Amino acid sequence: MKKLDVLLMVLSCLFPIAGVMKQFPLTLSLVVGGLLFFISLGSYFAKQTNWRVFSWIAYAVFITFLLLLRNPYITTSFLLENMKISACIAIIPFLFRFRTYAITIGLLGLWAFLLWDVKQVGSLEALQHIMYVTTSEQIYLLPFGIGFLFGGWLGHITKPSPKREKGRKPNKPKQKKQRKGWNITIPIPSLPKFGIKVSKSRRYESPVQQTTRLHDSRQEENMEQYGSAEEKQDIETEFIHEETRETRMGRRKKKANM
């Protein structure tokens, strides 16, 4: 579409050429050619940058051009009045975000008829017919209107809907840009360190754990006491057996001596 806008900008130069060749009033040719050029220029930048300001400019100049077709005998005051009216009307497509596809294809259809007429006549005098579209040459309105409606439909289709954008682009959390800050470090003298031993506090134990721990400790103490008691008994019995053995041996020796 942007290439078509460039083509329309080039074709708009035919009006000043026709005015220089005196086949068309010079002032009128400059005005019409300038309006067509700025329409295509605004449409081009609207598609290039996606800024609604350029779309507003394109629609404002386009509406001025349409108002100019009603009265080809233009004056400066008449042109300024039409430009003010067009700038106010162009706020509607500005607010509703209309695309400029309708303007591009509508002007392309109009230029197709004009060039066909130029070919049939064989001179640039056929360009004067564009100023009598609403009076005598009403057939030019047919391709112009069809192209305008088709361009509006095409712009509506190509416009990305919010549902499609949500389907294509998943919602991702926006990450904040980390700005680089100035890190200023001030050297501070360190104080002498004193080592202090802190007793480790016992960890918290539930009452069930405390009872089980007490029970286990008591069992261990009982086992130790029982083991020590058995050892004492064994030692005592061994000592008693040794004593009895010594007394028996002494008795035998005494009997042998006698």
Contacts of 127 (CB under 8 A, 6+ apart): 14, 15, 18, 23, 24, 29, 114, 118
> With 70 as the cut, is the pLDDT of residue 144 above it?
yes
Rounded to whole angstroms, the Cα distance separating 26 from 21 reads 9
* Mean pLDDT, the chain, whole residue set: 79
- Which pTM does this prediction carry? 0.60
Rounded to whole angstroms, the Cα distance separating 191 from 247 reads 81
> With 90 as the cut, is the pLDDT of residue 191 above it?
no
pLDDT of residue 126: 85
Question: For the segment 159-176, what is each residue's pLDDT rounded down to a tens digit?
Answer: 765 555 455 555 555 555
Rounded to whole angstroms, the Cα distance separating 227 from 215 reads 18
For residue 81, give the 3-state DSSP assignment: helix
pLDDT of residue 121: 82
- Return the closest-CA partner of residue 14 out of 143, 102, 142, 111: 111
Contacts of 151 (CB under 8 A, 6+ apart): 101, 102, 103, 104, 105, 106
Beta-strand runs (E) in 114-167: none
- pLDDT band per the 50, 70, 90 thresholds, residue 239: low
- pLDDT band per the 50, 70, 90 thresholds, residue 16: very high
Question: For the segment 60-73, what is each residue's pLDDT rounded down to a tens digit?
Answer: 999 999 988 877 67
Contact 100, 47 (CB under 8 A): yes
Number of neighbouring beta carbons within 10 Å of residue 251:
10
pLDDT of residue 253: 66
Contact 61, 52 (CB under 8 A): no
Residue type, 78: F
